[in-house]
Amino acid sequence: MSVAARRPRRAMNSPIAYFFVLPALVIFFVFTIAPTLYTAFISLFNWNPLNISQSKFIGLSNYKNAFAGQANPSFWDTAKTSAYFVVAMVVLGPLLALLIALLLQRGGRLMSAARTATFLPNVTPLVATSLVWMWIFNGQFGLANQVLKVFGIGGPNWLESNTWAMPVVIFVSLWHELGFIAIIILGGLTTMSSELSEAAKVDGCNVFQEFIHITLPQLRPVMFFVVVISTISSLQAFTQFYTMTQGNFGTSTLSYEIYYQAFVVYHTGYAAALAIVLLVITAVLSILQFVLNRTRD
């Protein structure tokens, strides 16, 4: 007992331990911490990326401009667009994935093949599949409208419409992400204790009651994890917007706007300020979710 307690303490006191974690720390610092600090530094400047010596210190002006909504689209517009996307992904994603996972829970060869098929979209490169979906939703020549035409419905210009562009991007994002989330939930389902379910059945629980009172509470840690990673990945989503809409027709999210400001119009300082704001939003939302989860516990 005492030996077991002493070992970790000795390991932590040894300089060799730090030596072993040093490579990981160096990589983390060089590729994550240092760029973040540098981004925060740039956000205080009217930054000229082509000639840094021409950059001027302007304090918090980039942040003031963002919150004053002076850009076009404004920070608040892009934040609303991000919220639209994040809410849709975080609500629909885990919900649909849970349904899929429950369906795939049963064994058998067919289900095994179905699991693979469900996961398959997630291993495809998003940029490539976004291009394919872009053509499927092409207003003039796309498959979607050809199918609708069979039923006598004239489809819209999906990706050139303020009404439809975002729902299409959400649909494609869900198609890509659902498999991954479903597999995580499926993992949670398979590790659950069957004793509670059996006891509930003995006590006369129907399938719905068993799901609500037995399955779902046990799945809470997994669902919490899924919600957190869905929130973070949705806030950072970029590829599908870049490929399918280029931030037009009401799809200019905060992430896309950072790219646009940084790499299209080269307002690097302003883009850095937006990146820091996005970092803070992501951190706050994640912490909030952790706190809420802990409070429930």
Partner 1 sequence: MSNNTTRRRSVKLLTAVAALGLVGVTAACGSTGSGGSSGGGGTKAGSNGGGKTTITFMEAMSSGALKPAMQAQVAAFEKKNPNIVVNLEPYADYGTLTAKLKAATSAGDPPTLAQVYSSDAAAFASSKVIMPLDSFPNEASTASTFYKGIQNDLKLSDGKTWMWPFAKSTVIMYYNTAMLKSAGQPVPTTWDQFATVAKAVSTKGVTAISIDPGSSSAPAGGTAWFEILCQANGTPAWTADGKPQFDSPAAVKALTYLVDLKKAGALAIGSNYPGQIALGAQKGAFDISSVASYYYNSAAVGKKFVMGTAALPTGPSGPANQLAGGNVVMFAKASKAQQDAAWKFLSFMTTPAQQAAWSTASGYLPVTSQALPLMSSFLKSHPYQKFAAESLEWAQDTPPYASVSETQGDLALGLQAALGNGKDPAAALKTAQANAMKHMNGAQ
Q: Which of 19, 107, 206, 296 binds partner 1 (CB under 8 A)?
A: 19
Angle between helices 109-123 and 75-104 (to 10 degrees): 160
Q: Which of 124, 218, 248, 289 binds partner 1 (CB under 8 A)?
A: 248
Q: Closer to partner 1 at the Cβ: 54 or 112?
A: 54
Neighbours of 266 (CB within 10 A): 14
How many residues at the interface with partner 1, by CB under 8 A?
37
49 binds partner 1 (CB under 8 A): yes
236 binds partner 1 (CB under 8 A): no
31 binds partner 1 (CB under 8 A): no
48 binds partner 1 (CB under 8 A): yes
Cis? peptide before 221, omega within 30° of 0: no
246 binds partner 1 (CB under 8 A): yes
217 binds partner 1 (CB under 8 A): no
Go through 85-122 and write b for each residue having 16 or more CB atoms within 10 A of its CB, e for each that does not.
bbebbbebbbeebbebbeebeeeeeeeeeebeebbebb
Q: Which of 42, 86, 90, 134 binds partner 1 (CB under 8 A)?
A: 134
Separation between Cα atoms, residue 133 and residue 142, nearest integer Å: 9
15 binds partner 1 (CB under 8 A): yes
157 binds partner 1 (CB under 8 A): yes
Burial of 185 (0-12, 13-18, 19+ CB in 10 A): buried
57 binds partner 1 (CB under 8 A): no
Q: Which of 263, 287, 288, 291 binds partner 1 (CB under 8 A)?
A: 263
Helix (H) or strand (E) run with residue 56 in it:
strand 56-57
Spatial CA neighbour of 260 closest among 73, 126, 125, 127: 73
Separation between Cα atoms, residue 28 and residue 124, nearest integer Å: 27
Which of these ranges, 77-85, 198-206, 215-223, 257-265, lies near partner 1 under the rule CB under 8 A?
257-265
Show contacts with partner 1 in window 64-103 (CB under 8 A).
Answer: 65, 70-72
3-state helix vs strand vs coil in the chain, percent to 5: 75, 0, 20
**Residue 26 Cβ vs partner 1, minimum distance, rounded to whole Å:** 10
161 binds partner 1 (CB under 8 A): yes
Residues that bind partner 1 (CB under 8 A): 14-16, 19, 48-52, 54, 65, 70-72, 134, 138-141, 157, 159-162, 245-249, 260-261, 263-267, 270
